[in-house]
Amino acid sequence: MATIDFGFRNQIIQLDIGTTLTYCYQCATCSGACPVSQVTNGRYNPRRLILKSLLGLKENIFGKKNSFEIWGCTVCDTCDEVCPQKVELTEIFTILKNLSVERGEAPEHYTSQASVILENGKAIPMQTAIERRRSQLGLPQILSPDIKEIKKLLNLTNLKSKIPEKKTE
Ligand code: SF4
Ligand code: SF4
């Protein structure tokens, strides 16, 4: 039987600005509208994730085996739009994602993307081939970001310490 973790439950409620989590009455409008839920046969389910958060079922949310439970969300905001109780679902899921990162459980494709942003100031570094193609298509040159400034800001968030070291073969 799952253990109720009241500390975890209170932590989410406190981090959820407006404590909207407690407004949920489990109508399932969010999961009915969620595009990820629709294409995963309910394997990902925002209503269920809200319920688990509300009940403090921490061990059913975290852990590498439950990764999709949190990280399946694409942050499309549809659930926020349709929730009759104005529960801030995506904000609550961001809290869970941040806790997942703190626990070192974020999927590798997210943390490696964070490394790229930290090093280059953007998710897709500019490449000569892209620049040449843009020029051929008559598209304007993309200005380089101020990497020093971006690194300074990201270092204030301690992002680097949250990205796991890459394993060498
Ligand atoms: S739509 Fe809102 S009230 Fe209904 S289950 Fe989802 S979060 Fe809860
Ligand atoms: S924000 Fe996430 S949970 Fe909400 S509808 Fe989009 S994918 Fe589903």
| Domain boundaries of the chain, sorted by first residue | 6-102, 108-159
**Fold (topology level) of 6-102:** Fumarate Reductase Iron-sulfur Protein; Chain B, domain 2 (1.10.1060)
Q: Which atom of ligand 2 is nearest to the CA of 77?
A: 1
Q: Give distance in angstroms: CA of 138 to centre of ligand 2.
A: 37
Which stretches of the chain score pLDDT less than 50? none
Closest CA to 72 of 104, 114, 100, 102: 100
> Atom 2 of ligand 1 has which residue's CA nearest to it?
83
Report H helices in the chain. 6-15, 29-33, 35-39, 46-55, 67-71, 78-82, 89-102, 108-120, 128-136, 147-156, 159-162
CA atoms within 13 A on the CB side of 146: 4
Q: What is the pLDDT of residue 93?
A: 96
Q: What angle do CA 108, 150, 74 make, to 5 degrees?
A: 40
Residue position matching structure tokens 């932590």: 11
Burial of 85 (0-12, 13-18, 19+ CB in 10 A): middle
**Is the beta carbon of 29 within 6 A of some atom in ligand 1?**
yes
Ligand nearest to the backbone CA of 48: 1
Which ligand lies nearest the alpha carbon of 35? Answer: 2
Q: What's the rounded Cα separation, in Å, for the pair 58 and 130?
A: 44
Residue 49 Cβ < 6 Å to ligand 1: no
Q: Work out the number of other CB atoms within 10 angstroms of the CB of residue 53.
A: 24
- pLDDT score recorded for residue 11: 93
| Ligand with the closest atom to the CA of 90 | 2
123-142 confidence digits (pLDDT tens): 888 889 999 999 999 999 88
State pTM to two decimals: 0.86
